[in-house]
Amino acid sequence: MEYIAISQLNDWKNKKIKFPAITAYDFSFAKLFSNQGIPVILIGDSLGMTIQGHTSTLSVKIKDIEYHTKAVRKGAPNTFLISDLPFMSYYDTKTALKNTAKIIRSGANMIKLEGGKWLIEIIKELSNRSILVCGHIGLTPQYFHYLGGYKIQGKKQNDANKLIDEALLLEESGIKVLVIECVPEKLAEKITKCLSIPVIGIGSGKNTDGQILVMHDLLGITEGKIPSFSKNFLSESGSIQKAIQKYIHEVKTGIYPSPQYSF
């Protein structure tokens, strides 16, 4: 696969070409996903659940993300890698800069932060140093206790307006990609149209620029029930390679997520 840079994601946004993304945490899956043509991989703090077996992302440490980013980069040398800054690893600007350096040195192209207004100064400082930053709004798993669980966000008009304002503010502060998780399709569509940067959705309908799924959900190997917006692509495909091909095809053509997998 050719080297994927942020300019490629911008180009897809401008040309309205939808792109798939997936989480990965190790060398072998990163290699498989990259060989199948997945252009964007997230080393997500979802590894707290999928790899470490916890019930939330809150236990994940910066050294975990460093370790998994290094492994993924070895397997996917040309893929655009986004790595999460985990819970409490960016509570102030100095800490965010220090931990971002660790993640970029481990091989990430971009770091991802969860939240809204309070991140403005941190995002500006990172952007001023030419660090690529991805925002993450809607259902933000690091706010699990505050949100009272993993629930759809932005259903009420006030909450929807707040998310639109947050998205615009984050873009103005310097983020170069936005992830929106678990919001109604219409709201995600509106935010995607308002922003000039690529917007990647998860559980947010089919009208975002890109889609992302947690690999364990996509392959149907998540412990317990997979989220209602996730689709088990492996059950209909017969091999992991074919499941990934199907995912890529369905995202690019807008088949996934159909209304069954949207709010």
Draw the binding track, 205-224, toward ligand KIV (x: CB under 6 A; -: no contact). -------x-x----------
Nearest approach, Cβ of residue 212 and ligand KIV (Å): 5
Nearest approach, Cβ of residue 44 and ligand KIV (Å): 2
64, 66, 84, 166: which one binds ligand KIV (CB under 6 A): 84
22, 30, 38, 42: which one binds ligand KIV (CB under 6 A): 42
Which of 181, 185, 189, 250 is flagged as catalytic? 181
Based on the residue annotation, tell me whether 172 is a catalytic residue of this protein: no
Alpha helix locations (H) across 1-42? Answer: 6-15, 27-36
Name the residue among 177, 219, 181 with its Cα closest to residue 39: 177
Q: Rule CB under 6 A: is residue 182 a binding residue for ligand KIV?
A: no
Name the residue among 20, 25, 80, 39 with its Cα closest to residue 202: 20
Q: Which residue is nearest to ligand KIV (CB)?
A: 44
Residue 142 and residue 87 in contact, taking contact as beta carbons nearer than 8 Å? yes
Q: Rule CB under 6 A: is residue 133 a binding residue for ligand KIV?
A: no
Q: Rule CB under 6 A: is residue 83 a binding residue for ligand KIV?
A: no
Q: Is residue 177 classed exposed, middle or buried when 0-12, 13-18 and 19+ CB atoms within 10 A define those classes?
A: buried
Q: Rule CB under 6 A: is residue 153 a binding residue for ligand KIV?
A: no
Name the residue among 123, 62, 107 with its Cα closest to residue 88: 62
Q: Rule CB under 6 A: is residue 250 a binding residue for ligand KIV?
A: no
What are the residues binding ligand KIV (CB under 6 A)? 23, 42, 44-46, 84, 179, 181, 202, 212, 214
- Provide the annotated active-site residues: 181
